[in-house]
Amino acid sequence: MKASISSATLAFLLTRALPSSATSDASDPCAKIAGLAFVPTADAIACQKAFPFNETLRQNVLTVISRVFDFFTFEDYYLDSPAPFQESTTNIRADIARINQTKYETDFDFNADIYNFTTKLNDGHTRWFPNCYNSYQNILPAPVVSLEEDGVQNVFIAPDSVEFLELLGSNFTSFFDSKHFDWRRLAGAKVLEIEGLSAYDYIDVVASTVSGNYLPHGPRVNSAFSSYRIDGTNAFSQRIGDVAGPELLTQTELTFKLITVNSTREETVTVPFLANFIGTPFTDKESFWANNCAANDETNGVDLRLQSNTLPNTTTPRRRARAAIIDSAPKNALGLPAPFLPTLPPVNSSAGVIKSFILPDNKTGVMFLGSFDGDFNQFQTDTLAAITQFQQSNVTHLLLDLTNNGGGFVCLGFFLHSFLAGTDFGYPGFQSTSRANPLAQRILAADIAQGIGENIAFYAPDNWAFLNDTAMPLDFNYNDPSAPLTINGRSDPTSIRFHDICTPFAVPMPATPPFDLKNVAIVSNGDCASTCAMFSTLMNERHNTTIAVFGGKPGEAVEFKGMAGNQVLEWSDLDTEIKTAGLKDAFSRVLLLSANWFAKTGVFQHATQLENRMELP
Ligand SMILES: *[C@@H]1O[C@H](CO)[C@@H](O)[C@H](O)[C@H]1NC(C)=O
Ligand SMILES: *[C@@H]1O[C@H](CO)[C@@H](O)[C@H](O)[C@H]1NC(C)=O
Ligand SMILES: *[C@@H]1O[C@H](CO)[C@@H](O)[C@H](O)[C@H]1NC(C)=O
Ligand SMILES: *[C@@H]1O[C@H](CO)[C@@H](O)[C@H](O)[C@H]1NC(C)=O
Ligand SMILES: *[C@@H]1O[C@H](CO)[C@@H](O)[C@H](O)[C@H]1NC(C)=O
Ligand SMILES: *[C@@H]1O[C@H](CO)[C@@H](O)[C@H](O)[C@H]1NC(C)=O
Ligand SMILES: *[C@@H]1O[C@H](CO)[C@@H](O)[C@H](O)[C@H]1NC(C)=O
Ligand SMILES: *[C@@H]1O[C@H](CO)[C@@H](O)[C@H](O)[C@H]1NC(C)=O
Ligand SMILES: *[C@@H]1O[C@H](CO)[C@@H](O)[C@H](O)[C@H]1NC(C)=O
Ligand SMILES: *[C@@H]1O[C@H](CO)[C@@H](O)[C@H](O)[C@H]1NC(C)=O
Ligand SMILES: *[C@@H]1O[C@H](CO)[C@@H](O)[C@H](O)[C@H]1NC(C)=O
């Protein structure tokens, strides 16, 4: 790249490159951008802010949110989160009351406030993703990473930015070309300041206010950066990172002080964001609301008792606990640029969420686990195939890469532990409880009274096992009487402790470890969520497994796990649970009136034996 093109001039031209929004235009701000894949962020904001605040919707949304939080197992922990998690301390009920009293101009502002409040809980289980305002993804053509050069760490514009962002196609690049903004020359630039703060200080602001998802600060620092991952389609992918790819449209440009590659000159460059449409197509304001914001068939739950003739038979899987986060930034998956794809031949069975390789030393097998999700049985057959091939190839060391692993089925975390430790090791520690709030107790009592089983209800007793791994009988009430628990001075009783039912597994399990456990290690960027966090914690606690974490910023340790384990139920799942129990009048008469169907929270808390939920480092 030529370093010397008149960058100062370009920066100047760019500063006000974005057209101002069409607010003075009485015409429809959504019609103006309909059908376009990429639009100036200010224009997308004008459309999203075209809907005035509506008190009916506020009361509806806050009522639902307040009742969803009744199920949230961590609520009282937030009143006084112990160090180093104190950044998340808040009084959730006071937050809801504040949002109930705040004056908002637009529906966007109201939703953004809820989004921000739940984001700052820093628990990826518990988020508010309004479809309406997640309809565009903001993208800055300057994703950042933290790199070390001659022993010194600094923030840089990702060196692969050109190969990476060109994957967005000519609609993306032509916008910048038409503005004569050369974003390509920024690739690899050393970043000194962002928005007037030192680069790492700005990263900290993003980690504290935008990233969410992870309880410790360090993993959120890594979320701010661009990083590699396996995406929801099981392809190698690159996250844009939360600096360059925030979910909500709140910024139209970002100002950097930087030094481009092969230059020594500091310059100030203001880089515009571009908004990428990822919602449901519309033609104008009315259809934008109807297609992206109004409630639809998936917003609320259903009474599964009425659909029993279409229910799966007992040979089909139970309603398995999933402990996962939705990392929806960006929803438009970007591939990992071709030059950075692994060149080692993949080990058999790498089509799913697990990609396996043998390193050139012929001694080390690598399993890159994108999640514990996807096809439940394939995860198991792929694990067996990879480890069998490793053994046939005389591999003696195993490296598990858990970078950006968003979690998934609790039972697959249990499975992988059992496979690596051997079944002779016994139960690793994945006990669960649920909050014994009055409605949860009524749901379970109603399930028992009607003989409702695990095929249509999460709360059904036969979905769980006693601590001796015997499945609970259909009439066993594990939530009443409750077990006393006091958290931060508040009484917050829970159910008794129980196990998930995970066995039998789909593949033959080794009785003893396939590899000496001393030769098994884990590497990740600490963005390891829920089931991933439980799995890593257990490997570390039970086998002293070495865990290496990369990234972060100078002077701050990064936890190897980002959160506790929690089974997540979305609003529609909870609503289904209540309707199926026949308690419609008690609760589900409240229907969400707008399509915010990602409102979700952790309901069944999966603590490892050592209570990793609030474990100190
Ligand atoms: C920087 O300089 C090196 C050595 O001259 C050259 O190989 C490289 O292509 C240059 N990079 C850019 C981006 O100009
Ligand atoms: C550009 O966007 C339009 C829709 O706005 C789409 O029809 C077209 O296929 C896109 N072109 C490319 C190269 O992605
Ligand atoms: C507010 O939203 C409700 C529910 O969608 C709707 O029925 C009502 O007409 C809206 N009120 C105004 C003033 O638009
Ligand atoms: C909001 O506050 C009003 C009174 O100020 C109260 O009637 C209403 O129930 C509150 N809504 C929620 C969801 O808490
Ligand atoms: C939400 O947080 C973002 C990022 O900190 C901020 O720009 C925005 O003003 C906040 N919005 C509201 C309504 O609090
Ligand atoms: C379930 O099994 C019964 C018989 O065992 C069969 O009649 C029915 O069609 C099956 N239902 C489904 C949805 O497969
Ligand atoms: C990989 O899978 C293919 C087909 O399933 C099989 O023929 C082959 O032997 C396997 N290779 C190894 C090294 O296991
Ligand atoms: C690893 O195995 C390959 C293929 O058998 C061989 O070509 C290579 O030399 C081996 N490498 C080492 C370090 O032994
Ligand atoms: C693995 O080791 C065995 C025994 O030393 C040897 O016979 C076999 O060729 C080795 N396999 C590979 C793939 O290197
Ligand atoms: C397992 O524990 C339950 C509850 O304590 C008990 O009722 C049951 O008999 C036990 N089952 C076995 C096989 O020990
Ligand atoms: C793990 O390491 C600690 C400290 O060195 C030691 O006390 C413990 O026995 C080890 N546990 C296992 C399972 O190896």
Q: What is the CATH number of the domain that holds 351?
A: 3.90.226.10
pLDDT of residue 30: 98
77-103 average pLDDT score: 94
- Ligand 9 atom at minimal distance to the Cα of residue 393: 13
Nearest CA to ligand 11 atom 7: 544
Cα of 361 from ligand 8 centre, angstroms: 7
DSSP string, 501-535: --PSPSSPPPSS-SS-GGGEEEEE-S-B-THHHHH
Kindly tell me if the per-residue pLDDT of 538 is higher than 50: yes
What atom of ligand 9 comes closest to residue 394's alpha carbon?
A: 1
pLDDT, tens digit, for every residue of 415-442? 999 999 999 998 887 788 888 989 899 9
Residue 148 has pLDDT above 80, yes or no: yes
- Candidates 363, 392, 394, 396: which one to mutate for ligand 9, based on the most atoms within 8 Å of Cβ? 394
**Are both 414 and 445 inside the same structural domain?**
no
Q: Are residues 405 and 542 in the same domain?
A: yes
Give residue for tokens 């590699």.
228
CA of 2 to the centre of ligand 1 (A): 8
Q: How far is the CA of 395 from the centre of ligand 9 (A)?
A: 10
3-class SS of residue 211:
helix
Q: What CATH code is carried by the domain that includes residue 232?
A: 2.30.42.10
pLDDT attached to residue 10: 30
Q: Looking at ligand 11, which atom is closest to the CA of residue 543?
A: 13
Ligand 5 pocket by Cβ (under 6 Å) = 109, 112-113, 116, 209-210, 250
Poorest-pLDDT segment among 150-154, 236-240, 263-267, 499-503: 499-503
Ligand 8 pocket check for 362: Cβ under 6 Å: yes
DSSP letter, residue 337:
P
The answer on pLDDT for 339 being more than 50 is: yes
- Domain presence at residue 302: no
Residue 21 has pLDDT above 50, yes or no: no
Cβ of 348 below 6 Å from ligand 7 = yes
Question: Does one domain contain both 510 and 499?
Answer: no
Would residue 604 count as lying in a domain? no
370 part of a folded domain: yes
Q: Kindly identify the ligand whose nearest atom is closest to the C-alpha of 294.
A: 3
Model confidence band, residue 305 (pLDDT cutoffs 50, 70, 90): confident
**CA–CA distance, 113 with 122 (Å, rounded to integer):** 15
Report if residue 611 sits inside a domain. no
Residues 239, 117 share a domain: no
Q: Identify the residues whose C-beta falls under 6 Å from ligand 9.
A: 393-394
Same domain, 161 and 265: yes
Ligand 4 binding pocket includes 62 (Cβ within 6 Å)? yes
Q: Express the helix, strand and coil content of the chain in percent, nearest 5 each.
A: 35, 20, 45
Alpha-carbon span 271 to 176, nearest angstrom: 10
pLDDT tens digit string along 164-180?
999 999 999 999 999 99
Closest C-alpha to 353, from 235, 511, 447, 502: 235
Name which residue sits closest to atom 6 of ligand 11, judged by CA. Answer: 544
Taking the centre of ligand 4 as the mean of its atom positions, its distance from the CA of residue 101, in whole angstroms, is: 8
Residue 34 pLDDT > 70: yes
pLDDT level of residue 605 (50, 70, 90 thresholds): low
Structural domains of the chain, count: 4
Compare 184 and 12 and report the one with higher pLDDT. Answer: 184
Contact indicator for 278, 135 with CB cutoff of 8 Å:
yes
> What is the span of the domain harbouring residue 580?
433-504+570-599
- 304: pLDDT strictly greater than 60: yes
Ligand closest in space to the Cα of 360 = 8
Is the distance from CB of 435 to CB of 73 less than 8 angstroms?
A: yes
Ligand 3, atom nearest to 54 Cα: 1
Convert the pLDDT of each residue in 376-422 to its tens digit: 999 999 999 999 999 999 999 999 999 999 998 889 999 999 999 99
* Residue 441 located in a structural domain: yes
- Of 220, 247, 276, the position where a domain reaches its end is 276
Q: Which of 190-204, 287-301, 321-335, 599-613 has the highest mean pLDDT?
A: 190-204
What's the mean pLDDT when you consider all of the chain? Answer: 87
Say whether both 338 and 395 belong to one domain: yes
Alpha-carbon distance 167 to 174, whole Å? 13
pLDDT at 539: 95
Which of 276, 311, 346 marks a domain boundary?
276
| Dist CA 305 CA 581 (whole Å) | 8
In-domain check, residue 191? yes
Q: In this structure, are 253 and 271 located in the same domain?
A: yes
> Which has more pLDDT, 72 or 478?
478
| Cα–Cα nearest to 502, from 414, 422, 434, 384 | 414
Q: 415 alpha carbon to ligand 7 midpoint, in Å?
A: 23
**pLDDT at residue 38 tops 90:** yes
Residue of 54, 62, 285, 296 best suited for mutating to test ligand 3, as the one with most atoms within 8 Å of CB: 54
Residue 6 predicted with pLDDT over 50: no
Asked whether residue 565 is domain-assigned, the answer is no
Distances (CA, A) of 388 to 147, 345, 412: 36, 16, 18
Question: Does residue 453 lie in a domain region?
Answer: yes
The confidence band for 449, taking pLDDT boundaries of 50, 70 and 90, is very high
Cα(254)–Cα(244) distance, rounded to whole angstroms? 9
Same domain, 350 and 454: no
Residue of 166, 171, 277 to test ligand 2 pocket, by largest number of atoms within 8 Å of CB = 171
Query: Does 544 sit in the ligand 11 pocket, CB within 6 Å?
Result: yes
**Residue 59 and residue 78 share a domain:** yes
For residues 24 and 146, membership in a common domain is answered with no
Percent of the chain with pLDDT over 70: 87
Residues 455 and 356 in one domain: no
Residues 98, 165 within the same domain: no
Q: Which of 234, 233, 251 is nearest to 242 (CA)?
A: 251
Looking at the predicted structure, is the pLDDT value of residue 589 above 80?
no
